[in-house]
Amino acid sequence: MAPTSSTAPPPTRRTAFAEGVDQVRAAATTEPGRLRIIGALLALLVVAFGAVTAWQMTDRSAAADDVLNKSQPLSTAAADIYRSLADANTAASSGFLAGGQETAESRKRYEDDIDTAAAKLVTAANNSDPGSPSAAAITKLNKLLPEYKGLVERARTYNRQGYPVGGAYLRYANQKMQQEMLPAAEDLYKKENQRLRDDYADATPYPWAAIALGVLALAALAWAQHRNYRRTNRVLNHGLVAATAATTVVLLWLVIGHSVARAGLNDSYDHGVRSLNVLHDARIASLKARGNENLTLVARGAETVKVGDETVDAYDHDFSEDMGVLAKGLAEAQRLADDDSGTKPVEQAGNNMAEWKKRHTAARAQDDNGNYEQALTLVIGGKGATGECFDSVDANLARALEHEQGEFRQAAGDGLDAMGGLAVGAAVLAVLGAAGAVLGIGRRLSEYR
């Protein structure tokens, strides 16, 4: 039998990673090798610290900028849409009550409100995400707005001609506003408020990953300097000292800068956004109350509602409900106001509201006694009418809103400014710190040549 020959299997080729590990192990057996490894790790830690700091602060700065320049203005725009629609409804009912005596000022107020709502809807549409719930609410409002305008114009036309059907058209327009348009506007307002809260949630958390890396980098640099001192009896290594100084500056800048920014943003929410939300709600309640007060005279008892065992005028009942909401809103706004400029207009609005309720009671008494014209004069007349009180409430709430908007912008702007330059500064100082660590270790390596 012929002998057989066997061939030895080829040696298994090692991976580059395995070879690298062996090289590191070999290097770690000598002091120069250990120094090179230490230098590389120190540089990596400092650079990682700077990179994570830049990343986290860029995200927080962008969120803070959105709070100041995007989500809060959009939340206010959504509230303005609601207010403009409610005020247009109020102006329409006031004009209807005036009949052929409708003033140019009343007509202009209605047209301005409709134009404002349309313009704000365009702005909101341009800043909403396609397919989002906000976009759906905007689309719905854009569809309903011309339908509402058509109903109001029909009501006015029939009213000028003396046809009672005009009141039915106005009540139908009010129903469309109250049951479809204002709920959609309120939904948009809530969605924009949620986006604002989300931006606050992104802007205010502490950058714990960056802080942890900074502490770790400082600990590693301290250990390297202590090791250097024990082996050479040299107190300072200029490169490592420079790296430590750069890392310390970044860490302190990060902690202090973000703490100041966080305080500013929290202040802008507690003393700005919360007050703005309460004031917007109070202003909307006053507008709804005025609209229902007018519609009480338009309907003349045609709309009723059951309250317990009693049947009452539906619009007058809603007026009372709205005034209750207004009273609570004013009380909360006064509690949240932190200076006289914020408190005084709210107090004045409260006094106007109290007088409004007295005049409304007098107007209802006249209407219940069959004195419709006297009741009408007490509601839409000049001096001494409830309209005068409503205008004062609205004007004072507008003043309070303007003040709180300024408070918000100041505090949020301070918070954003506190983050200014931190991301870029951290990246630059981290690079300098890593270079210092490499140079410091390089100085020790030169002693072995």
Q: Which residues touch 257 (CB under 8 Å, ≥6 apart)? A: 418, 419, 422
Amino acid in the structure at residue 28: A
Residue 15 three-state SS: coil
Give me the half-sphere count of Cα atoms (radius 13 Å) on the Cβ side of residue 124. Answer: 34
CB count within 10 Å of CB 320 equals 14
- Going by pLDDT thresholds of 50, 70 and 90, the confidence category of residue 290 is confident
Query: What pLDDT digit, counting tens, does each position of 299-312 carry?
Result: 776 677 777 777 78
Reduced to 3 states, what is the DSSP secondary structure of residue 313? Answer: strand
DSSP 8-state code for residue 312: E
HSE toward the beta carbon, residue 257, CA cutoff 13 A: 25
Q: Residue 347 pLDDT more than 90?
A: yes
Note the pLDDT of residue 27: 53
Q: Who has greater pLDDT, 433 or 304?
A: 433
190 band by pLDDT with thresholds 50, 70 and 90: confident
Share of the chain above pLDDT 70, in %: 90
pLDDT single digits (tens) 191-201: 888 989 999 99
Alpha helix segments (H runs only) across 337-421: 340-368, 372-380, 386-418
Whether 145 and 117 have beta carbons less than 8 Å apart is answered as yes
- Which DSSP symbol is given to 269? I
Q: How far apart are CA 307 and CA 222, in angstroms?
A: 77
The answer to whether residues 298 and 96 touch, using CB atoms and an 8 Å cutoff, is: yes
The helix (H) or strand (E) run that includes residue 306 is: strand 304-307
Q: Which residue has the higher pLDDT, 342 or 228?
A: 342
Q: Please answer whether residues 349 and 393 qualify as being in contact, where contact means their C-beta atoms are separated by less than 8 angstroms.
A: yes
Q: What's the whole-number average pLDDT of the chain?
A: 86
- What does DSSP assign to residue 235? S
